[in-house]
């Protein structure tokens, strides 16, 4: 995909807007996940504004591409992408996490058109993606299924059961994206104290692990649009195996005090936190 400077700037702008909507929604709700949606921002924008064959007016179209957020706790990032793309009013994000809202802390496909799977219990997103990809093959449908997993998410055994089966069926219409931000919910207890930064990563050597499971594995920079699109193109061109895109990302990316700090996995946002985040995002947008 050729990316003109104007289009590149537009996508970067969407990622900044997505981050702003995430931090504002979590501030308003008084609860929610931040680090994971921030690390996934460019990947979500690349999918929802360029890659996925979707139409906000036809959210149940049988031929649409499917997307599953296996790391469902990052729901507010997905809701912000869906809102920016026109699946729901931006103002509805103010209902995030409220009782009876369509925007629950974890995605509920039974209430929100545009969601292809309900998720939240870690490790469960790749299995339905595998089912959708198999169904597409069986029915002769050309849609592609994309599943975003996290490194903590993929500590669950069910991810690897699905990985094994997808490779066995050679599902080249299935692409997983690992948001490889290197952090889970907590640090480890070590001799340096709880949460010390010398702990083991949640997922080590993901490329070789996925290759050992029979997948085509590609590494990319998950915050760089040209690199992301190049990985998407390689995934789509590959035949005979499912592909995993191992996207190197930074947890909390874009907000200085959240970056690489697992304490910002999930935390209320104070008025002061919000102000600083908004100021930083405004400065990033002005610099585009
Ligand atoms: C089965 C299950 N166990 C525990 C949790 C609680 N939990 C929510 S998010 C999370 C960490 C997820 O880490 P990762 O997949 O790396 O997410 P990211 O860093 O991208 O936010 C945990 C343990 C859960 N949602 N489901």
Q: Please report, in angstroms and rounded to a whole number, the separation of the first and last CA atoms in the chain.
A: 21
pLDDT at 46 over 70: yes
**How much is the mean pLDDT over the chain?**
94
pLDDT tens by residue, 161-176: 999 999 999 999 999 9
Q: Kindly indicate the confidence band of residue 186, based on its pLDDT and cuts at 50, 70 and 90.
A: confident
Inter-helix orientation angle 157-168/126-139, to 10°: 20
Which protein residue's CA is at the shortest distance from atom 18 of ligand 1? 36
Half-sphere exposure of 77 (CA within 13 A, CB side): 32
Coil, strand or helix: which one is 67?
strand
Output the CA 122–ligand 1 centroid distance in Å: 6
Q: Kindly indicate the confidence band of residue 133, based on its pLDDT and cuts at 50, 70 and 90.
A: very high
- What pTM does this model have? 0.96
Q: Which fold has domain 5-286?
A: Rossmann fold (3.40.50)
Cβ < 6 A, ligand 1 pocket: 35-36, 39, 71, 73-74, 120-122, 150-153, 179, 181, 183-185, 202, 251, 265
pLDDT at 77 over 80: yes
- What percentage of the chain reaches a pLDDT higher than 70? 94
Strand runs labelled E in 81-202: 145-150, 174-180, 188-190, 193-196
Output the CA 150–ligand 1 centroid distance in Å: 8
pLDDT: is 189 or 144 the higher one? 144
> Are 6 and 252 contacting, i.e. CB atoms less than 8 angstroms apart?
no
Pocket mutation for ligand 1, best pick of 26, 43, 68, 71 (most atoms within 8 Å of C-beta): 71
pLDDT tens by residue, 94-120: 999 999 999 999 999 999 999 999 999
Pocket mutation for ligand 1, best pick of 124, 184, 247, 263 (most atoms within 8 Å of C-beta): 184
pLDDT at 122 over 90: yes
Could you identify the atom of ligand 1 that is nearest to the CA of residue 185? 11
Could you identify the atom of ligand 1 that is nearest to the CA of residue 154? 15
Length of the chain, please?
288
- Chain-centroid distance of CA 214 in Å reads 23
Output the CA 2–ligand 1 centroid distance in Å: 35
């Amino acid at each position: 995909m050729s990316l003109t400077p104007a289009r590149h700037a537009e996508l970067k702008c969407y990622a900044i807007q997505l981050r702003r909507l995430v931090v504002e929604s979590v501030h308003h709700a008084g609860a929610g996940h931040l680090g994971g949606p921030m690390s996934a921002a460019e990947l979500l924008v690349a999918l929802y504004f360029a890659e996925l064959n979707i139409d906000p007016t036809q959210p149940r179209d049988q031929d649409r591409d499917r997307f599953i957020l296996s790391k469902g706790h990052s729901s507010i990032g997905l809701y912000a992408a869906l809102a920016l793309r026109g699946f729901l009013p931006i103002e509805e994000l103010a209902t995030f996490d409220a009782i009876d809202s369509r925007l629950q802390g974890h995605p509920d496909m039974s209430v929100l058109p545009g969601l292809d799977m309900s998720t939240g219990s870690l490790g469960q997103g790749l299995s339905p993606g595998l089912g959708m990809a198999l169904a597409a093959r069986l029915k002769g449908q050309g849609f592609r299924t994309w599943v975003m997993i996290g490194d903590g998410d993929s500590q669950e055994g069910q991810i690897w059961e699905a990985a094994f089966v997808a490779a066995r069926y050679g599902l080249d219409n299935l692409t997983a994206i690992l948001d490889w931000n290197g952090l889970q919910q907590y640090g480890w207890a070590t001799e340096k104290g709880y949460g010390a930064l010398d702990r083991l990563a949640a997922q080590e050597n993901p490329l070789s692990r996925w290759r050992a499971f029979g997948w085509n594995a590609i590494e990319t920079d998950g915050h760089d649009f040209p690199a992301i699109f190049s990985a998407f193109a390689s995934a789509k061109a590959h035949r005979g195996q499912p592909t995993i895109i191992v996207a190197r990302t930074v947890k909390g990316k874009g907000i200085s005090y959240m970056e690489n700090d697992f304490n910002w996995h999930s935390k209320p946002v104070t008025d002061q936190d919000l102000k600083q985040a908004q100021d930083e995002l405004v400065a990033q947008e002005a610099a585009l």
